């Protein structure tokens, strides 16, 4: 594959079949790259010509090289379904963030029962490394950055490989004032509405019947935060979601429940605290106190790590810029 410099770049492929897979049906993948980067892609013979502004053409080349290498890696796999739009979006995201094509091929990943979960941004890649290398990880960031989804992926992988005996999921039920006894139903029915994102992630990574069986057997446990008190959580992968709504007392209580052969992931968004105004966030305090503690990993994901619709990332970046401006004026 050869590429020329300047605003017009031509990439040649040794195999027309590779080009056909990369282009997609009716050139849909090329059209998506054109629209996303404001470039023109002309496919002819065994080559693609890229035209546009210098920066955009460079990014388009990175995207195409990335997809080309993915096809070469996977085309001999009988179970491979080919390039889809989500893979094109992944390649676009890495290119826009300034990463070389080889970076996506070296992306961290987790193996679950249903699929491989791969980091889609540089921030997510760093997050996945922290999840592998630390006993306690704090994942902070806005909605859509994958902080909860990736935490569940690591927990599912650990359970699949029998590195742990169970997964424990919890979050503070601030909306119910933690007074779950006043809500109708058994404990699972009381807590379920608050843990829907965690359930969605589990069913996305595991067969539904396996999730249901493990909920019955206790290999997957749903527990309100208040029920952690007095327990020692051994051989478990614990996830505390929406932790910005914990109090300092609750956070200390949860962190000190960790037993042998266990890992804990605490996720939250410090811009979405629902506690009373006078009540400090336990997550904010913990991140400050534990910043340099061995065995504890902390990562701050941002709008650039959002993997939902591209406009969501732009909205979050605008809010982040506004908040930065406000803070500088104080």
The pLDDT value recorded for residue 5 is: 47
Mean pLDDT for the chain? 83
The pLDDT value recorded for residue 45 is: 79
**Assigned superfamily of 109-329:** P-loop containing nucleotide triphosphate hydrolases (3.40.50.300)
Instruction: Provide, rounded to the nearest whole percent, the portion of the chain with pLDDT above 90.
Output: 39
Structure tokens at 126: 């760093």
Residue ranges of domains in the chain: 8-105, 109-329
**Beta strands 166-170 and 220-222, pairing class:** parallel
Q: Looking at the predicted structure, is the pLDDT value of residue 105 above 50?
A: no
Residue 201 and residue 147: Cα distance in Å, rounded? Answer: 11
b/e code 114-131 from CB counts within 10 Å (16+ = b) = eeebbbbbbbbbbbbebb
Task: Point out the least confidently predicted range of 9-18, 234-243, 258-267.
Answer: 9-18
Place of tokens 């709008």: 303
DSSP 58: H
Q: Binning pLDDT at 50, 70 and 90, where does residue 102 land?
A: low
Q: Where are the alpha helices (DSSP H) in the chain?
A: 16-23, 28-37, 54-74, 85-96, 101-105, 122-133, 147-160, 187-191, 196-205, 208-217, 248-255, 282-289, 310-329
pTM over 0.85: no
Beta pairing partners, 116: 111
Which of 263, 82, 259 has the alpha carbon at shortest distance from 159?
Answer: 263
CATH class of 8-105: alpha beta
Q: Binning pLDDT at 50, 70 and 90, where does residue 100 land?
A: low
Q: Looking at the predicted structure, is the pLDDT value of residue 203 above 90?
A: yes
Q: Looking at the predicted structure, is the pLDDT value of residue 271 above 60?
A: yes
The pLDDT value recorded for residue 239 is: 95
The pLDDT value recorded for residue 134 is: 96
The pLDDT value recorded for residue 149 is: 93
The pLDDT value recorded for residue 178 is: 46
Q: Which carries the bigger pLDDT value, residue 299 or residue 104?
A: 299
| Mean pLDDT, residues 261-267 | 96
Phi-psi region of 114 (alpha: psi -120 to 50; beta: other; left: phi over 0): alpha
């Amino acid at each position: 594959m050869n590429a020329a410099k300047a605003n017009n770049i031509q990439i040649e492929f040794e195999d027309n079949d590779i080009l056909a897979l990369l282009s997609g049906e009716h050139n849909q993948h090329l059209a998506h790259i054109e629209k996303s980067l404001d470039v023109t892609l002309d496919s002819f013979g065994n080559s693609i010509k890229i035209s546009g502004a210098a920066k955009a053409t460079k990014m388009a080349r990175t995207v195409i090289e990335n997809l080309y290498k993915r096809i070469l890696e996977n085309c001999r796999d009988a179970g491979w379904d080919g390039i889809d739009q989500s893979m094109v979006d992944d390649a676009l995201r890495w290119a826009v963030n300034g990463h070389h094509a080889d970076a996506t091929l070296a992306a961290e990943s987790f193996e679950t029962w249903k699929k491989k979960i791969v980091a889609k941004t540089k921030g997510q890649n760093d997050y996945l490394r922290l999840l592998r290398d630390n006993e306690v990880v704090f994942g902070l960031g806005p909605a859509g950055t994958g902080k909860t989804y990736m935490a569940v992926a690591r927990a599912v992988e650990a359970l699949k490989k029998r590195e742990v005996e169970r997964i424990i999921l919890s979050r503070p039920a601030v909306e119910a004032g933690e007074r779950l006894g006043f809500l109708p139903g058994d404990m699972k029915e009381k807590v379920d509405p608050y843990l829907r994102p965690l359930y969605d992630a589990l069913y996305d990574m595991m067969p539904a019947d396996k999730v249901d069986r493990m909920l019955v057997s206790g290999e997957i446990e749903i527990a309100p935060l208040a029920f952690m008190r007095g327990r020692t959580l051994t051989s478990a992968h614990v996830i505390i979601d929406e932790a910005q709504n914990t109090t300092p007392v609750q956070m200390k209580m949860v962190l000190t429940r960790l037993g042998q052969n266990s890992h804990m992931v605490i996720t939250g968004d410090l811009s979405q605290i629902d506690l009373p105004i006078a009540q400090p966030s336990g997550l904010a305090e913990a991140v400050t106190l534990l910043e340099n503690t061995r065995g504890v990993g902390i990562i701050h994901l941002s709008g650039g790590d959002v993997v939902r619709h591209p406009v969501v990332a732009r909205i979050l970046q605008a809010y982040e810029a506004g908040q930065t401006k406000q803070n500088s004026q104080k």
